Structure 1
Amino acid sequence: MSDTILDLLERNADHAERFADRFDDVQDAQHPEAVTVCCSDSRVLQDAIFGNEDPGYLFTCGNIGNRVVQRTEAGEVVSGDVLYPLAHTGTETAVVVGHTGCGAVTATYDDLTEGLSEPPGIEHCIGLLKPHLEGGVESLPDDVGRAGAINRLVEYNVDRQVEVLVESDDVAEDVEVVGAVYDFQDVYGGQRGELHVVNVDGETSVETLRAEYPDMADRVHRLWEY
Structure 2
Amino acid sequence: MHSRFVEMLQRNADHAAAFRTRFDDVQDSQRPGVVTVCCSDSRVLQDHIWGNEEPGDVFTCGNIGNRVVQRTDDGEVVSGDVLYPVEHTGTKTVVVVGHTGCGAVTATYDALTDGVSEPAGIEHCLDLLKPRLEAGVEALPDDVDRAGAINRLVEYNVDRQVEFLLDSDDIPDDVDVIGVVYDFQDVYSGERGEVHVINANGETAVETLRDDHEEIGGRIERLWQY
Task: Return the TM-score normalized by structure 2.
Answer: 0.99
Q: Deviations over 1:97-122 (max 9, x none)?
A: 00000000000000000011111000
Q: Which position in structure 2 is the counterpart of 1:98?
A: 98
The 5 Å alignment of 1:65-80 reads 65-80=65-80
Distance 1:115 1:10 in 2: 44
Give 2:209's aligned residue.
Answer: 209
Q: How many residues get paired? A: 226
Taking only the aligned residue pairs, the percentage that are identical comes to 72
Give the drift of 1:162: 0.4
SS in 2 for 1:91: coil
The residue number in structure 2 matching 1:111 is 111
Q: Which amino acid aligns with 1:110?
A: D
Tell me, in whole angstroms, the C-alpha distance in 2 between the residues paired with 1:197 and 1:132. Answer: 20
Q: CA RMSD in A?
A: 0.5
Unpaired runs of at least 5, structure 2 = none
- Output one character per residue of 1:87-141: Cα deviation in whole Å (capped at 9) or x when no partner: 1000000000000000000000000000111110000000110000011001000
Q: Where does residue 21 of structure 2 map in the other structure?
A: 21
Query: Within 5 A, what are the aligned runs for 1:118-157?
Result: 118-157=118-157
2:60 aligns to what SS in structure 1? Answer: strand
Q: Deviations over 1:161-184 (max 9, x none)?
A: 000111100010100000000000
Q: TM-score, normalised by structure 1?
A: 0.99
- 1:158: how far off? 0.3
Structure 2 distance, partners of 1:78, 1:193, is 28
Question: C-alpha separation between the residues in 2 aligned to 1:17 and 1:164?
Answer: 41
Aligned to 1:33: 33
Which amino acid is the alignment partner of residue 150 of structure 2? I
Task: Kindly report structure 1 stretches of 4+ aligned residues shifted beyond 2 Å.
Answer: none
